[in-house]
Amino acid sequence: MNFDDLKNDWQADQSSEPNISKDLLEIKQAKTPIDILRKKMKHEFNYQIVALILMAAFPYLFGFSPQMKLIFLAFYAITCGFTAHYFFKFYRFYKNSYDMTMDSRKSILWFFYEMKLNIELYKALTYIIAFIWMSFITVYLLIEKTGAINRVFAKLSPTYILLNCFITIVIIGVITELWAWYYYGKYLARVKKVVDDLDDE
């Protein structure tokens, strides 16, 4: 194969396609991995808002005592605080524009680290919320279901209970990591591959 001939053929090949029209400047959303990630995070944000609104009805749905309602309110306020904090960060990520005119390495590294940072933030928020509500359920059981809990504690050894707590934490961790990978990881892996291919000497 002669690359010089190929180069000549390539350069002689001028597009006979119709001219680009104004309509193409007004099309749909961009489809870079960052844009896809932003769109997905926006959807998750909407679901989370709906979940928070629904959660506000829990004390009435489950008939909490006045004492439990106060505890619920404290946990609910902490959840709202963390959610607001992280979603402010996600909002900044959503609004932050990117520069496609840098050299490829700089541009792709920017994409990679921006995506990685926001996926980590997403995971951190998931862990925090999961642990807040695990703690709430524990407090609820200790206060509202004292009799049942005492019976369980009497039957099971502390080691067994601790082991169960540990397994629950591991399961939450695994689910969070798998979900983040399934939902966002493939985009990060795609960009990481390009970074590695560029850096490979």
Partner 1 sequence: MNETENIFLSLINQHKAIIHKVSKMYMIDAEQQRDLFQEIVMQLWKAYPTFKGNSKFSTWMYRVALNTALVYFKKDHRKVDKTPLNENIDVIDTDDSEAKEERLAYLYKAVQELNAVEKALIFLFLENQSHREIALNLGISEVNARVKLNRTKEKLQFIIKKNGYEF
Contact residues: partner 1, CB under 8 A:
1-3, 5-7, 9-15, 17, 19-22, 24-25, 27-28, 30-34, 36, 99-108, 111, 187, 190-191, 193-194, 197-198, 201
**Residue whose CB is less far from partner 1, 66 or 201:** 201
Contacts of residue 148, defined as CB under 8 A and 6 or more positions apart, other chains included, come to 141
**Residue whose CB is less far from partner 1, 53 or 99:** 99
Which residue in the block uniquely carries the two structure tokens 């946990």? 75
- Rounded to the nearest whole angstrom, what is the least distance from the CB of residue 116 to partner 1 in the complex? 14
- Rounded to the nearest whole angstrom, what is the least distance from the CB of residue 141 to partner 1 in the complex? 45
**Residue whose CB is less far from partner 1, 5 or 155:** 5
- Rounded to the nearest whole angstrom, what is the least distance from the CB of residue 189 to partner 1 in the complex? 11
**Residue whose CB is less far from partner 1, 17 or 53:** 17
Radius of gyration of the chain (CA): 26
**Residue whose CB is less far from partner 1, 53 or 197:** 197
Cα gap 130→142, rounded to integer Å: 18
Cα gap 11→70, rounded to integer Å: 74
- Rounded to the nearest whole angstrom, what is the least distance from the CB of residue 13 to partner 1 in the complex? 6
Cα gap 70→143, rounded to integer Å: 12
Answer whether 180's CB lies under 8 Å from 186's CB.
no
| DSSP labels, 49-85 | HHHHHHHTTHHHHTT--HHHHHHHHHHHHHHHHHHHH
Nearest-5° Cα angle at 37, 34 to 38: 85
- Rounded to the nearest whole angstrom, what is the least distance from the CB of residue 88 to partner 1 in the complex? 25
**Residue whose CB is less far from partner 1, 7 or 43:** 7
- Rounded to the nearest whole angstrom, what is the least distance from the CB of residue 28 to partner 1 in the complex? 8
